[in-house]
Chain A
Amino acid sequence: GAGVSQSPSNKVTEKGKDVELRCDPISGHTALYWYRQRLGQGLEFLIYFQGNSAPDKSGLPSDRFSAERTGESVSTLTIQRTQQEDSAVYLCASSSAPTVYEQYFGPGTRLTVT
């Protein structure tokens, strides 16, 4: 079956512009996570969605970052007024369990802010 897909695969934007990143989770997966991976570093948790529960936004670095998910489908991560330090690979993962077990990752969106 299809895995987690993300679009675009690459995004170059100018400082100060807004960007939207999209994640299509595996069908039937109730949990969805966004992570950020800076060059040469590990993954930083950003936000978590589980079904219709309120999302866990504890990892969002600033109020310029927001994310939405409709039901158990597509999620979008929005970064407003992008800064150069936002340059990173943004990874989405989904899981069939309400806990962390077996998160399946997408290929990521590489964001470059010039």
Chain B
Amino acid sequence: QQQVKQSPQSLIVQKGGISIINCAYENTAFDYFPWYQQFPGKGPALLIAIRPDVSEKKEGRFTISFNKSAKQFSLHIMDSQPGDSATYFCAASPDSARQLTFGSGTQLTVLP
């Protein structure tokens, strides 16, 4: 029940295209859903996060869509750029929890 399932494992997108990464969870106590971006040799960095009181959050080219009834959330990267090539992790946690439960990651490659 603690798992967060992430798909696809890898994604190749042309420059200017839309990248979409999906996550699903089972634990209904999860109340905080961040996305992290990780470049090779670096630690993950918080990209954007959402709480279930809203269905969508947008920051620049990055948008989280959240479907509470389906227990799913997704990351959309608009106008994808080669510099977006990285591994993306979704995560989830109950509001007052102390640790994040991470998805298995999606390796995104944006072709120039």
Contacts and interface: CB of A to CB of B under 8 A. Distances in A.
Interface size range of chain A in the complex: 20 to 34
Given A91-B44, A105-B43, A42 B102 contact: yes
A26 B9 CA distance: 32
A99 B97 contact: yes
Interface in A8-49: 31, 33, 35, 40-45, 48
B98 A48 contact: yes
A51 interface: no
Interface in A41-80: 41-45, 48, 50, 56, 59
A19 to B, nearest CB: 19
B98 A42 contact: no
Interface residues of B, number: 25
A56 B93 CA distance: 15
A105 B45 contact: yes
A48 B93 CA distance: 14
A111 interface: no
Contacts of A101: 32, 49
B87 to A, nearest CB: 9
Interface in A92-113: 93, 99-108
Interface of A: 4, 31, 33, 35, 40-45, 48, 50, 56, 59, 91, 93, 99-108
Interface of B: 4, 6, 32, 36, 41-46, 49, 89, 91, 93, 95-105
14 contacts: A42-B103, A42-B104, A43-B89, A48-B98, A56-B98, A56-B99, A91-B43, A101-B49, A102-B46, A103-B100, A104-B45, A105-B43, A107-B41, A108-B43
Given A45-B100, A103-B100, 7 more contacts: A31-B98, A33-B98, A42-B103, A42-B104, A93-B43, A99-B97, A100-B97
